[in-house]
Amino acid sequence: MKDSIIVGLSGGVDSGVAAATLVEQGYQVEGLFMKNWEEDSKYCTSEQDYKDALQICNCLDIPLRSINFSREYWERVFKKFLDEYKLGRTPNPDVLCNTEIKFKAFLNYALELGANKIATGHYAINKSLDGYQNLIKGNDTNKEQSYFLHGLNQKQLSYAIFPLGTWKKENVREKALDLGFLNFNKKDSTGICFIGERHFKKFLKNYIPSKPGIIESCDGYIIGKHDGSMYYTIGQRQGLGIGGVRGTKEMPWYVTDKIVKKNKIIVAQGKDNPQLYHQYLECSDVHWISGYAPKKTKLRAKIRYRGSDSDCKIQLKDSGSIIVGFKNPQFAISPGQSIVFYDKKLCLGGGIINTRWN
């Protein structure tokens, strides 16, 4: 008899097709819908998501369980998310959500139920080779999600299946349509993990009070006001409210730095402005998927999910942090974000960006 697998069903098309492929392969499949955020507005759509997940299970003739991990999400993910923002950093909650909720709380629950494995709709490949679990980039370069999974360890990966690792998104939608899934054309989620899509600054203001301050140009001129430096991100262009400053060129403004202690935002004009680019960074909270640092020092790294891999050289420090030097200066390196390291398509692990310089 084939393994028993519990699939995390979000109500989205990806996890639904992931479940379908496992059913077709003869596994004993169950669905699990996780509610990880208590509804507080129109932005959370868990009720509709649950209905979509249930319709998928009805199509596949598999059972659907539901569990509420809201307390775990609040304690393990959201509190840390808020703490980082209060420090003026830009965290990535999806990375923590995977390590703490999907591949810890969900995994432990599934194992308690007697499952052999869990599966999700992530676009990534998990291969066992030479006694190690290897996380490899998914084949769909536009959708691949190894960046968000770089915090997983060997044990977590040993229980994980990613059925969509070799799929293209358009083929996933075609498959969902063929299977009769009503969500075959459902929009991809782009909001904070499990919280949904909403006006981000307004959402943050529910938890972090406004603190007005000044916006200063990189050459020292006060050119505007803001309502809290923690609401802004390095490299941000939209929502600054400083267009048409007298004596300046008609070019867009970008956030180049945040001086949190002074509650000050520094901006510069033009995406090519040197103030936006840095060649070195230091990262901490480093995690290697294999459990060991790589022997190679010349790697490739990604400093944001939608960024490109860039050539770099790493230097391991006794403190456990890493100094990263890029071949070419990088745009908008943001403290708090994850940097993820690769050897070709193999995801090695990553860390949290602390500082950057030239």
Just list the catalytic residues. Answer: 97, 193
- Parallel, antiparallel, or unpaired: how do β-strands 132-137 and 346-357 relate? antiparallel
- Beginning with the edge strand found earlier in the chain, give each strand of the sheet holding 117-119 in spatial order: 64-68, 28-35, 4-8, 117-119, 160-161
DSSP character for 271?
A: T
Q: Within 13 Å, how many C-alpha atoms sit on residue 92's CB side? A: 24
CB atoms within 10 A of CB 191: 15
Spatial separation of the C-alpha atoms in residues 6 and 293, rounded to whole Å:
32
Structure tokens at 346: 């193999």
Number of H helices, E strands in the chain: 10, 17
Burial 316-349 (b: 16+ CB within 10 A, else e): eeeeebbebebeeebbbbbbbbbbbbbeebbbbb
Q: What type of residue is 275? A: Q
Cβ neighbours, 10 Å, residue 238 = 6
DSSP 211-238: --EEEEETTS-EEEEES-GGG--TT--T
Return d(Cα 122, Cα 66) in angstroms, integer.
20
Q: Which residue has the tokens 């008609």?
A: 250
Alpha-carbon distances of 341 from 238, 297, 303, 319, rounded to whole Å: 29, 11, 9, 19
